[in-house]
């Protein structure tokens, strides 16, 4: 079977959580499924102006009704890929970054900031319980709420930009880029690849 080829579908399933990679979690016939965002197949020099990105490319959030395809059946869980979002979460927002969904730098721009803080706090609690065998109630542990920021944007103080040749939509070097240094571009890497997304 080819990678990401569908071996089944999950129609109208309700997402219940996010895992540590910010992939949606749901249950199909009692078995956990981790659902990746819909893959982005379009790649071009003008990705910053890409109008093809949809909510499905950002990923599903908890309390959404979705359709997904099952791409792997593991012993204890499924792996899935999002097809469509039928009912959206009230915590879903429009990402501010034009390359969110393409770039591998951010995972939660489509989730409201208060929900992001709650997700991160729950992640800490679950890791303490699962990895450290710490029971918050039994051990009488009080964990304060995460202190957020007034403006949760533009606080990055370091960024690294890889530089490479411009590829066409079929991932081949453009004719000009083989000879013209002006066809080099800088940006961030596309998620889980070394393809550069222009910024």
Domain boundaries, the chain: 8-111+157-198
C-alpha–C-alpha distance, residues 69 and 151, integer Å: 37
What kind of architecture, by CATH, is found in domain 8-111+157-198? Beta Barrel (2.40)
Instruction: Quote the pLDDT of residue 6.
Output: 65
Q: What pLDDT tens digit does each residue of the chain (199 aa) get?
A: 455 556 667 789 999 999 999 999 999 989 999 999 998 765 444 444 444 688 999 999 999 999 999 999 999 999 999 999 999 999 999 999 888 888 888 899 999 999 999 999 988 888 888 777 777 666 677 778 888 998 988 877 788 888 887 654 444 444 444 445 567 788 888 888 888 887 7
Instruction: Read off the pTM.
Output: 0.79
CB 111 within 8 A of CB 95: no
SS (H, E, C) 56-100: HHHCCCCCCEEEEEEEEECCCEEEEEEEEEEECCCCECCCCCCCE
- Output the pLDDT for position 77: 96
Asked if residues 22 and 107 have their Cβ atoms less than 8 Å apart, the reply is: yes
Strands 8-14 and 65-73: antiparallel
Question: What is residue 174's predicted lDDT score, i.e. its pLDDT?
Answer: 47
């Amino acid at each position: 079977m080819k990678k990401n080829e569908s071996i089944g579908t999950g129609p109208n399933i309700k997402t219940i959580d996010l895992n540590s990679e910010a992939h949606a979690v749901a249950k199909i016939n009692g078995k956990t499924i981790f659902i990746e965002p819909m893959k982005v197949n379009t790649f071009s020099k003008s990705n910053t102006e890409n109008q093809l990105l949809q909510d499905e490319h950002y990923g599903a959030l908890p309390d959404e009704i979705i359709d997904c395809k099952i791409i792997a059946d593991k012993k204890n869980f499924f792996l899935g890929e999002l097809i469509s979002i039928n009912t959206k979460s009230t915590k879903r927002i429009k990402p501010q970054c034009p390359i969110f969904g393409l770039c591998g730098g951010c995972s939660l721009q489509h989730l409201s900031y208060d929900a992001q803080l709650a997700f991160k706090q729950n992640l800490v609690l679950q890791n303490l319980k699962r990895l450290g065998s710490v029971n918050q109630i039994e051990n009488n542990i009080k964990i304060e709420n995460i202190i957020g920021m007034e403006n949760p944007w533009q606080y990055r103080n370091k960024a690294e930009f890889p530089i490479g040749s411009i590829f066409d939509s079929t991932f081949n070097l453009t004719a000009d880029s083989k000879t013209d240094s002006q066809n080099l571009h800088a940006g961030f890497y596309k998620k889980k690849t070394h393809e550069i997304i222009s910024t």
